[in-house]
C-alpha cells in the first residue's frame, strides 16, 4: 500500500463515520420530535406528559450538541494528522529533549493535554448549560476545576509510569513487544480495579456506610440469598455534582462494594431498591463483568498485534502526515484513528451489552418481584430524563441498555 492510498482510505473513513454520526443523530432527533406530543401508551399511567416532554427536550439538546462535537472531533483529528500537527509537536519535543524515549513521552503527553484543553469548552457547556438548563447540574465552577486538577494529577501518577513502560517495551522487546505490552496492560487494569474503590473513588466523592438499618437488613438478606459477599454498603454523595441517580458495584475480588447514589435512595421504595440491587447482582451471578473483562482484553490483544504490523510500514506514518517514524508516534496515531475504523463495531458491542442487561433483569425477576424492578426503572427514566422513544437505529449504535419500552415489556412477561 502507498501513503497516498492510505491517506485516501483514512479520509474516506473519517468522512463516512462523521456523516454516519450526523445522520444517526438527525434520525434520533426526528423520531423523538414525532413522539413528543404523547406519552407512550405503556407509560401513560406513571409518566406525566410534562416529564415525557422534558426528557425529549433534554435528549434532543444532547444529540444536537453531540453533532457539533462530532464535527469538532473530525476537524481536530485532521489538524493533528494530515495537517501535520503531530509532526509539528514531535519536532518541538525533539529539540527540547534528548533521549528518544523522553521525546516520545513528551509528544504523547503534549498531544493529550492540548486535546483536553481544546475540548474543555465542550465539557463546560455540557455541564453548566445543558445539564443546568434541565435542572441536573449541582456542580460549582470551583468544584469542576478541582475535579479537573485531581484527574490531571491522577492521570500523571498512574499514566506516566504506564506510558514509560509501554514505550520501553515497544523499543526493547523486539517483534513480540505487543505481547509484553498486553500483559502489562492487563496487570495495570486489574490493579486499578482493586484500588479504585478504596483509593481513587474517594478522591472525588464521599462514601458513607448505609445508615438505614431496615434497608441494610433487607440488602444483606438479598446478598446472602444470592451468595454475594461485599466489603460494605455505601452511599455516595452524588447530589454534590448531579441530580442523576444510580447504583453500582465497584471493585474486584475482596474489594467489591455496593454503592448507592444518595439521590437514588431518596426516590425509590425499599422494594424497588432491592429490585435494582438484584439486577446488579444478576450481572455478578451471570459473570458479565468477567466476560466483559475477557472480551476487552481479547480485543486489546488484537489491536496491539495490528499496531505491531502497521508500525513497520512507512505508508502508515506518511499517510497520516508524519515524516519521522517512531514507536511513540505509531502508538499515538493508531489509537487516535482507531475509533474511526472501529465505528461499525458499535452495534455489536451494544447488542452484547443489552443481552447482559436482559439476563440481569431476568435474574432480578427471580429474586424479587419483576413489577418492583419495572417501577424502579420507570422512576429512573423519569428522574434522569431519559427518552422513552429513542430512534431504534440510533439506539442500536449507542445504547448499552435496551430501550425503555422493550425492557419494561419484557419484564412484564416475567
- CA-to-CA distance for 276 and 281, rounded, in angstroms? 9
Say what the pTM is. 0.89
Q: Which three cell numbers stand for residue 207?
A: 462514601
How confident is the model at residue 24, as a pLDDT?
97
How confident is the model at residue 391, as a pLDDT?
95
The sign one gets for the Cα dihedral 336, 338, 342, 348 is negative
- CA-to-CA distance for 321 and 80, rounded, in angstroms? 8
How confident is the model at residue 251, as a pLDDT?
67
How confident is the model at residue 257, as a pLDDT?
78
- CA-to-CA distance for 17 and 191, rounded, in angstroms? 34
- CA-to-CA distance for 260 and 216, rounded, in angstroms? 12
**pLDDT digit string (tens) for the chain, length 414 residues:** 899 999 999 999 999 999 999 999 999 999 999 999 999 988 888 889 999 999 999 999 999 999 999 999 999 999 999 999 999 999 999 888 878 899 999 999 999 999 999 999 999 999 999 999 998 888 899 999 999 999 999 999 999 999 999 999 999 998 899 999 999 999 999 999 888 888 888 888 888 888 888 888 888 888 888 887 777 788 888 777 776 767 777 766 666 778 888 777 777 788 888 888 899 888 888 989 889 999 999 999 999 999 999 999 999 999 999 999 999 999 999 999 999 999 999 999 999 999 999 999 999 999 888 899 998 888 888 888 889 999 999 999 999 999 888 898 898 887
Q: Which residue has cell 440491587?
A: 277
- Rounded to a whole number of angstroms, the distance between the first and last alpha carbons of the chain is 55
How confident is the model at residue 255, as a pLDDT?
65
* Active site residue ranges: 280, 361
- CA-to-CA distance for 255 and 71, rounded, in angstroms? 41
How confident is the model at residue 20, as a pLDDT?
97
Please state at what angle helix 327-341 crosses helix 49-80, rounded to 10 degrees: 140
Q: Which residue has cell 456542580?
A: 139
Amino acid at each position: 500500500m502507498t501513503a497516498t492510498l492510505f491517506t485516501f482510505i483514512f479520509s474516506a473513513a473519517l468522512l463516512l463515520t462523521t456523516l454516519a454520526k450526523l445522520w444517526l443523530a438527525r434520525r434520533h432527533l426526528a423520531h423523538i420530535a414525532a413522539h413528543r406530543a404523547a406519552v407512550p401508551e405503556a407509560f401513560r399511567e406513571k409518566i406525566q406528559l410534562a416529564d415525557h416532554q422534558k426528557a425529549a427536550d433534554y435528549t434532543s439538546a444532547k444529540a444536537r450538541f453531540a453533532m457539533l462535537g462530532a464535527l469538532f472531533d473530525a476537524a481536530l483529528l485532521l489538524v493533528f494528522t494530515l495537517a501535520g500537527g503531530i509532526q509539528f509537536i514531535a519536532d518541538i519535543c525533539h529539540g527540547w529533549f534528548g533521549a528518544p524515549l523522553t521525546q516520545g513521552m513528551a509528544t504523547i503527553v503534549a498531544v493529550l493535554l492540548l486535546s483536553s484543553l481544546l475540548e474543555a469548552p465542550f465539557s463546560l457547556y455540557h455541564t453548566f448549560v445543558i445539564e443546568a438548563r434541565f435542572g441536573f447540574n449541582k456542580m460549582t465552577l470551583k468544584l469542576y476545576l478541582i475535579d479537573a486538577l485531581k484527574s490531571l494529577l491522577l492521570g500523571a501518577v498512574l499514566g506516566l509510569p504506564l506510558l514509560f513502560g509501554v514505550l520501553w517495551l515497544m523499543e526493547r522487546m523486539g517483534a513480540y513487544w505487543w505481547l509484553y505490552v498486553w500483559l502489562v496492560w492487563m496487570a495495570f487494569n486489574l490493579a486499578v480495579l482493586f484500588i479504585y474503590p478504596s483509593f481513587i473513588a474517594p478522591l472525588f466523592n464521599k462514601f458513607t456506610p448505609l445508615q438505614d438499618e431496615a434497608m441494610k437488613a433487607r440488602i444483606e438478606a438479598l446478598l446472602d440469598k444470592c451468595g454475594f459477599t461485599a466489603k460494605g454498603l455505601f452511599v455516595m454523595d452524588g447530589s454534590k455534582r448531579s441530580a442523576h441517580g444510580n447504583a453500582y458495584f465497584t471493585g474486584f475480588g475482596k474489594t467489591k462494594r455496593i454503592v448507592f447514589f444518595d439521590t437514588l435512595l431518596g426516590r425509590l421504595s425499599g422494594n424497588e431498591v432491592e429490585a435494582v440491587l438484584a439486577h446488579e447482582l444478576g450481572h455478578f451471578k451471570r459473570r458479565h463483568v468477567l466476560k466483559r473483562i475477557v472480551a476487552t482484553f481479547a480485543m486489546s490483544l488484537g489491536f496491539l498485534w495490528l499496531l505491531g504490523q502497521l508500525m513497520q510500514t512507512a505508508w502508515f506514518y506518511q499517510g497520516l502526515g508524519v515524516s519521522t517514524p517512531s514507536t511513540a508516534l505509531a502508538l499515538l496515531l493508531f489509537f487516535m484513528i482507531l475509533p474511526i475504523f472501529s465505528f461499525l463495531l458499535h452495534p455489536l458491542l451494544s447488542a452484547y451489552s443489552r443481552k447482559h442487561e436482559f439476563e440481569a433483569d431476568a435474574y432480578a425477576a427471580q429474586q424479587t418481584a419483576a413489577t418492583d424492578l419495572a417501577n424502579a426503572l420507570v422512576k429512573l427514566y423519569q428522574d434522569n430524563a431519559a427518552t422513552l422513544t429513542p430512534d431504534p437505529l440510533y439506539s442500536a449504535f449507542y445504547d448499552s441498555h435496551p430501550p425503555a419500552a422493550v425492557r419494561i415489556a419484557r419484564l412484564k412477561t416475567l
